[in-house]
Amino acid sequence: MTVKLAGWLDPNTSPMLINEINVEGVKKLVFDMKNVEYVFSAGLRSFLIFQRMMASQNGQMLLINLSEQIRQIFEYAGFESMLEKRA
């Protein structure tokens, strides 16, 4: 399953993200971050929740197409394992 995100992942939008995506039976969850402008700590928490959900069903989660600014946020938070590998 690929989910394309846009805008800001903040305390207002992050709960909506969690509530809108059903990962039951999904083996690979990919978030396309091309149009994401900023990620707050609440957004980071959302991805951690999804990563745990996927791990509980032996699945994989990956974030792709991150801007350099967004990539740095995830790297500073220690979430490198979620990111697509650089070429």
Q: Which domains does the chain have, with CATH numbers?
A: 2-82 (3.30.750.24)
The pLDDT assigned to 40 comes to 93
Per-residue pLDDT tens digits for 12-22: 999 999 999 99
The position carrying tokens 């990956």 is 62
How does pLDDT run across 25-84, given as a tens digit for each residue?
A: 999 999 999 999 999 999 999 999 999 999 999 999 999 999 999 999 999 998 888 888
Using alpha carbons, list the distances in angstroms from residue 35 to 27, 58, 67. 24, 28, 9
Confidence of residue 87 (pLDDT cuts 50, 70, 90): low
Tokens of 1: 């399953």
The pTM assigned to this predicted structure is: 0.91
What is the rounded CA–CA span in Å between residue 11 and residue 4?
19
